[in-house]
Amino acid sequence: MDLLTVLQILDSSVRSATPLLLAALAGLFSERAGIFDIGLEGKMLAAAFLSAAVAAVTGNVWIGLFAGIGASLALSAIHGLASITFRGNQLISGVAINFLAAGLTVVVAQSWFGQGGRTPQLSGGARFNPITLPFAETLRDVPVIGPIYYELISGHTVLVYIAMLMVPLSWWILYRTRFGLRLRAVGENPAAVDTAGVSVVGLRYAAVGICGVLCGIAGAQLATAEPAAGFVKDMTAGRGYIALAALIFAKWRPWYVLYACLLFGFLQAIALRPDLIQNAIGLRVQVQFLDALPYILTVIILAGFVGKAIPPRAGGEPYVKER
Amino acid sequence: MTAPAIELVGISKAFGPVQANKDISIRVMPGTIHGIIGENGAGKSTLMSILYGFYKADAGEIFINGKKTLIPDSQAAISAGIGMVFQHFKLVENFTVLENVVLGAEDGALLRPSLAKARTQLKQLAAEYELNVDPDALIEDIGVGMQQRVEILKALYRAADILILDEPTGVLTPAEADQLFRILGRLKAEGKTIILITHKLREIMEITDTVSVMRRGEMTATVKTAETSPPELAELMVGRKVLLRVDKKPANPGDVVLVVRDLNVTDAKGVHRLKGVSFAVRAGEIFGIAGVAGNGQSELLEVLGGYEKATGTVTVNLQEIDLTGAKSNGQTRRARGIAHVPEDRQREGLIMDFMAWENIAFGYHNDPKYQKNALLMDNDALRADAGGKMERFDVRPPNPKLQAKSFSGGNQQKIVLAREIERNPDLLLIGQPTRGVDIGAIEFIHQQIVALRDQGKAILLVSVELDEILSLSDRIAVMFDGKMMGERLPADTNVKELGLLMAGITDTDRPHSVAEVEAKLAFAGGNPRKEV
Amino acid sequence: MEKMPKWADVLLVPLISLILAAFFSAIVILAIGESPVAALKIMVSGALGSTYAWGYTLYYATNFIFTGLAVAVAFHARMFNIGGEGQAMLGGLGVALVCLYIPWPHWSLALIGATAGAALFGAAWAAIPAFLQAKRGSHIVITTIMFNFIAAALLNYLLIGVLKPMGSMEPATPKFPAAVKLPSLHDILALVGIPFSKAAPANVAFLVAILACIAVWALIWRTRLGYQIRAFGHSEPAAKYAGINPTRMIMIAMLISGGLAGMMAVNNVMGEAERLVLNAVEGAGFIGIAVALMGRSHPLGVFLAAILFGFLYQGGAELGLATRIPRELIVVIQALVILFTGALDNMVRAPVERVFMAMRRPPKPETKLKAAK
């Protein structure tokens, strides 16, 4: 395998990892605040649809992006209402949101565009285009560093770079700011936050809101920044659940979320090139096995065979002042 | 004249159909320690939670230093200079002490400066009030007493002038409690106002300047501590003269029923909970185990009840009991004649959502008399059985079709007692028999326990209420840190000595007592001295 | 003290939730420029207007009874089994293997064999998450979700590879032998002289589903095992105190749950498709969640809710054919039902409780005022 193939695979890994990363970081904020969210999938899907639809209509992908974030935020608001205000079951709420998005996107897409639940293909200003970083062309011929810079680091859409920047930013917010301290505390013991004079409800809504924004960007990335831009029915295809898996795999820590998402992105990338694996290890690996691998790895982590994944202690529990 | 630090006027609060506080008014003068005493459920904690903004009152006004103040949330209480140490601490377990202190009282959006400032301030506070805590220790790694200090530090860091403590000694040994009281004394000397909520008369007499008594959601009296006495306070608390002692004949012990030898328990976290516990209980006697909560009593009951694994030997009626095997569970224990009234009836003893008749079979659901055939249970038989038991144990209302959660604490406990006692067990394990139970039911429950003893049954009683232990037990043992600290006869001991034992101090300047007890306990194989 | 009468809890609250879900569905239909009334008419005639329509409605309902019961049984042990989808896929595999590789002399024996195979495979797929929950504390919601995806990958692999007949391009098993063809509702009702559509897929599995409802009811409310499962579901510490083994309860409840989900395959794989195809479950595993929530985890409630969803499913399909409304509308309705009966239960319940509390109290002016707030 030559360097170029390796770089192409890695490049495609980064691209596959981006929506996972954004969604997993979204889940990180929500779950660190004690609100479990299995509705990442639905929020991404809703955002994917609305961003593509609005981008297609306006021809401006940035308006599309904000529309996508809006769609995701609307679902976040439902999740917040159910799990914070009305103290409902967070898991059930997540399931409902996933179905709501799965159904509504197709119903509305059909009504608006009449293309069997798709949006038109996006091009030009209606989609995010790859950015060539400074000097990429000039450095291209420098051995090793040149191709790495050109193939792997340069040439992604702005959303990929935003996603990568979100990792240190999330870490910094969680561990270096007042907001982060309170957010982590509310996921561990909301009563401590409440008696310290800070609003549990406010914090949790803030966390769910951040989750909505990040899921929105994740969905927009899928629909408006992939090589074939545009929405198709059920286009998230379980990525929300893989993001959830990555979050657990990373034990709810930002940097590890990045590593987990890159790993899962890599698995998706090589699943598209079975020939490469066969060349590399001399064995034909079933594509289905690679598809299932993130889930299998997550089950193994959950089983505690590779260190224990301990979720935030107040996670999943609605906060009720004890009597 | 100075204005009161706190004045509450006409506070009322209802939780659904329960009126927790009824038109309560109270004045607390600055620089004093004011006690609030009352039975469980009298409304003390609710009242203070309202003052701290944790609950909202339905009616009433709050004045702080003479100024009318609205306290809709804890933030408002903190700004008004009020700090509160809850009975169940409100700490983030996997945060450091420093992070817990800073939480909610940060100086800016960034954390570092806040933490640095808190670190220096904690040093000052530590020096000022003897409140030493390692600021970088995780809460989950430090003891309960330390955690309580963190709670006090939290309040002081927020510059609280008024400090409310809710049942602060419940989790402390008498020695730790003494230290806490010294700290409170210092705080008072510095001009702070302190409200101490407790149900222990001793603490009120020891430290407070004034005391208010609550009963069933109402404030019955406020008096100067120096001008009152424990019997008077007790009467105010329950509304009538209280029998502080249980009427009972001397015990008539028979054969040894339960023998426990060298029992050891290590829990899932690797903490050594029981350390070589040995004792014996005879038929026809009540063996009481005193101790501060969390010193291994719960684990002891769980081992004997069949749901905690242990090493060592336990025999009932001279036959050994399997402590670790697959057959070591509540079912096999019951088959061996062990009945168990657990410490926490709402968590363990009852299924709160089950109806009373379903709860009557709980633990005995495999009993053939409750089965219709090999497949189905006989629900009619169950309902009939429940009706009879509830009648005999004076459960009110005696309606088997009500859910367990719709009964009062005392009546819930009577359902559990009816179920366990009417099994005619050889050995009854009973933990905290009267926790959260009103006085009327307490007397009934105590009578039932004594009656069972008089039928020649062996009874192992665990209680954190020293008075209960002293009045019910025929022999008393004290547990500390998973160990038995020695045994005493109720006639030969007193609260002070037991208190020392509860703190792990065994040289209680009674040189003769150890030998005495040892002689009486020769059969148990226990040696109180070796544990020291 | 109970806050409201039982009938209100069992009937009124779900009914209000359902009305809310219907209301929002109507808004969606309006928003895409169609008439909700016309849509409802098409759904009613398409799902209930003929024996052919009923045949489809009951066929879908049969699927949902099984998956709904599966979720309900797990709920009683306070386990949230989101893995019905995967368990039903594996149930399909069990049915396919039993039907393809055992030469059955008669459909009745094949039905018993296939039911056992379906239950066994479904239960096996639930067993690993159950074990991990019981022994390692791995959250069953997450593991069952993961197992849905693993099941999909596994079936994908098998149907593209080993199980596909030589020369076929379609990812599916060969057709089952004629001997295992289950009698349809047409055949059964003909015995008692009732005419019923021949073309509709409803079959004898519907009767199996009704039997399953009765069996689950007896299990949960009349047997010692059910007593123990419910006790464990309400309080794990109490179960330990009573000598009820938590590991055993989790395993048993989840095996029964997985088995029931798997048994759905008797209906869709054996009764209808007569071979195993990719994506045979079509989301019925997830609809089981809505059905169990709606039916308050009671077999009778599950039965009624399953019929309702059968109606929605069949009606929604007709809608897709007759109007511009895509059949995905039923996914929206399903989501709204889950939302209102499950996640937003308190929103619906609290006002109803307050009304009942206010009615019960003697009319004191001040309490009335407070209740109104």
Chains that touch A (3 or more CB pairs under 8 A): B, C
How high is the pLDDT of residue C146? 93
Supply the Cα-derived Rg of chain B in whole angstroms. Answer: 25
Tokens of A119: 């949006």
Residues C283-328: tens digit of each pLDDT: 999 999 999 998 999 999 999 999 999 999 999 999 988 888 888 9
Q: Give me the pLDDT at residue B508, please.
A: 65
The predicted pLDDT at position B174 comes to: 67
Nearest to B168 by CA among B158, B159, B178: B178
Contact between chains at B347 and C235 (C-beta distance less than 8 A): yes
pLDDT at residue B520, as a whole number: 33
Tokens linked to A190: 């909301």
Identify the burial level of A126 via C-beta atoms within 10 angstroms of its C-beta, where 0-12 means exposed, 13-18 middle and 19 or more buried.
buried
Cross-strand partners of C21:
none
Whether residue B397 is preceded by a cis peptide bond, meaning omega within 30 degrees of 0, is yes
DSSP 8-class letter at A149: I
Answer yes or no: are the C-beta atoms of B84 and B164 closer than 8 Å.
Answer: yes
Q: Which of residues 200-219 of C touch B (CB under 8 A)?
A: 218
- DSSP strand E in B16-161: where? 18-28, 33-38, 59-64, 67-69, 82-85
Quick one: A320 exposed, middle or buried, by C-beta within 10 A (0-12, 13-18, 19+)? Answer: exposed
Which chains lie within 8 Å of chain C at 3 or more CB pairs, if any? A, B
B329, B376, B403 ranked by CB distance to C222: nearest: B376
Nearest-CA residue of chain C relative to A79? C343
pLDDT of the residue at C359: 82
- Listing DSSP states for B197-214 in one string gives EES-HHHHHHH-SEEEEE
Separation in Å, CA of B458 to nearest CA in chain A: 36
Residues C24 and C20: their CA atoms lie apart, in Å, by 6
**Alpha-carbon distance A189 to nearest alpha carbon in chain B (angstroms):** 6
C127-139 pLDDT, tens digit per residue, is 999 999 999 888 8
pLDDT higher than threshold 70 for residue B243? no
Q: What value does the CA radius of gyration of chain A take, rounded to a whole number of Å?
A: 20
| Strand blocks (E) in B384-511 | 427-431, 458-462, 475-480, 483-488
Tens of pLDDT, residue by residue over C34-89, are 999 999 999 999 999 999 999 999 999 999 999 999 999 999 999 999 999 999 99
- How many whole angstroms separate alpha carbon C210 and alpha carbon C299? 9
pLDDT at C369 over 60: no
Residues 6+ apart with CB under 8 A from B407: B356, B395, B415
Four-residue CA torsion sign, B15, B19, B23, B28: negative
Q: How confident is the model at residue A26 (pLDDT cuts 50, 70, 90)?
A: very high
- Whether B102 sits inside 8 A of A181 (CB atoms) is yes
The phi, psi pair for B6, rounded to 5°, reads -135, 135
Pick from B515-519, C29-33, C151-155: least confident: B515-519
User: In chain B, which residue's Cα lies nearest the Cα of A177?
Assistant: B110
User: Between chains, do B307 and C243 touch, taking CB under 8 Å as contact?
Assistant: yes
Tokens of B222: 């406020």
CB contact under 8 A, B333 and C243: yes
Contact B342 C234 (CB under 8 A): no
CA gap C69, C60 in Å, rounded: 14
Q: Is the pLDDT of residue C362 over 60?
A: no
Residue B88: closest CA among B193, B164, B171, B182 = B171
CA distance A12 to A4: 12
Calculate the dihedral angle through the C-alpha atoms of C333, C338, C340, C344, rounding to the nearest 10 degrees.
-150
Q: What is the ipTM of this complex?
A: 0.91
Are the Cβ atoms of A198 and B103 closer than 8 angstroms?
yes
Partner-chain contact B92 A199, CB within 8 Å: no
Query: A196 touching B, CB under 8 A?
Result: yes
Cβ neighbours for C192, distance < 8 A, ≥ 6 positions apart: none
Residues 84-123 of B with CB under 8 A from C: none
Using a pLDDT cut of 90, give the percent of chain C over it: 78
Chain segment A139-158, per-residue pLDDT in tens: 888 888 888 888 888 889 99
- Write the pLDDT tens digit of every residue in A91-136: 999 999 999 999 999 999 999 998 988 999 999 999 999 998 888 8
- Closest Cβ opposite residue C241 in set B305, B332, B371: B305
Q: What is the DSSP string of B279-316?
A: EEEETT-EEEEE--TTSSHHHHHHHHHTSS--EEEEEE
Q: Report the pLDDT value the prediction gives residue A1, as an integer from 0 to 100.
A: 62
pLDDT digits (tens, 9 = 90+) for B49-79: 999 998 999 999 999 999 999 999 999 999 9
**Is A197 close to B92, i.e. CB distance below 8 A?**
no
Quote the Cα angle for C110-C116-C121, to 5°: 125
Angle (nearest 5°) at CA A262 between A257 and A268 = 125
Here the tokens at position B342 are 């657990």
* Residue with more model confidence, C190 or C373: C190
Q: Which residue in C182, C177, C181 sits closest to C101, CA to CA?
A: C177
For the segment B79-92, the average pLDDT, to the nearest whole number, is 94
Query: Closest-CA residue in chain A for C292?
Result: A92
C63 contacts chain B (CB < 8 A): no
Residue B138 has pLDDT above 90, yes or no: yes
Bridge partners (DSSP) of residue B64 are: B6, B67
The Cα C322–Cα C41 span in angstroms is: 11
Quickly state the pLDDT bin for B244 (edges 50, 70, 90).
Answer: low
As a whole number of angstroms, the distance between CA A304 and CA B2 comes to 62
pTM: 0.88
Our CA-based measurement puts residue C357 at a distance from the nearest CA of chain B, in whole angstroms, of: 9
Token pair 């009606």 in the structure block, residue = C315
Contact A231, A49 (CB under 8 A): yes
Interface test mutation site (partner C, options A89, A302, A306, A308, max chain C beta carbons within 10 A): A302
CA distances, A205 to each of A33, A80, A87, A210, B37 (Å): 9, 6, 13, 9, 39
Average pLDDT (B331-356) is 95
How many CB atoms sit inside 10 A of residue B529's CB? Answer: 12
Q: Is the pLDDT of residue C365 over 60?
A: no
Are the beta carbons of C55 and C185 closer than 8 angstroms?
yes
Residue spans of beta strands (DSSP E) within A30-76:
none
